[in-house]
Amino acid sequence: MGYQDLSYWLSSLDEPLTPRAGLPGDTDADVAIVGAGYTGLWTAFYLAEADPTLRIVVLEREIAGYGASGRNGGWCSALFPTSLPALARRHGRDRALAMQRAMHDTVREVGRVVAAEGVDCDWRAGGTVVLARTGPQLDRARAAVAEAHAYGLTDDDLVLLDAAEAAARCAADGVRGGTYTPHCAAVHPAKLVRGLARAVERRGVRLHERTPVTALRPGAAVTPAGVVRAPVVVRATEGFTPALPGHRRSVAPVYSLMVATPPLPEETWARIGLAERETFSDHRHVIVYGQRTADGRLAFGGRGAPYHYGSRVRPDFDREPRVFAALRRALGELFPVLGPDVPVTHAWGGPLGVARDWAASVGLDRRTGLAWAGGYVGDGVGTSNLAGRTLADLITGRESDLTALPWVGHRSPRWEPEPLRWLAMNAGLRVMSSADETELRTHRPARRAALFARFLGH
* DSSP-derived secondary structure for 343-396: --SEEEEEEEEE-TTS--EEEEETTTTEEEEE--TT-HHHHHHHHHHHHHHHHH
Predicted pLDDT of residue 424: 73
CA distance 37 to 34: 9
Q: Is 377 in contact with 353 (CB distance < 8 Å)?
A: yes
Q: What pLDDT was estimated at residue 448?
A: 47
The single-letter code of the amino acid at 407 is W
Q: What is 3-73+189-251+357-404's CATH topology?
A: FAD/NAD(P)-binding domain (3.50.50)
Q: How far is CA 15 from CA 4, 190, 424, in A?
A: 10, 11, 42
Residue 455, pLDDT score: 40
C-alpha distances (whole Å) from 91 to each of 81, 143, 216, 412 are 15, 22, 31, 15
Could you list the pLDDT tens digit for every one of the 458 residues in the chain? 799 999 999 999 999 999 999 999 999 999 999 999 999 999 999 999 999 999 999 999 999 999 999 999 999 999 999 999 999 999 999 999 999 999 999 999 999 999 999 999 999 999 999 999 999 999 999 999 999 999 999 999 999 999 999 999 999 999 999 999 999 999 999 999 999 999 999 999 999 999 999 999 999 999 999 999 999 999 999 999 999 999 999 999 999 999 999 999 999 999 999 999 999 999 987 789 999 999 999 999 997 777 888 788 888 888 999 999 999 999 999 999 999 899 999 999 999 999 999 999 999 999 999 999 999 999 999 999 999 999 999 999 999 999 999 999 999 999 898 887 778 777 766 666 555 565 656 655 555 444 444 444 44
Q: How many CB atoms lie within 10 A of CB 185?
A: 27
* DSSP code for 273: B
**Per-residue pLDDT at 458:** 40
Cα Rg of the chain (Å, integer): 21
Q: Using a cut of 0.85, tell me whether the model's pTM lies above it.
A: yes
Q: What is the pLDDT of residue 287?
A: 84
Q: How far apart are CA 296 and CA 265, in angstroms?
A: 8
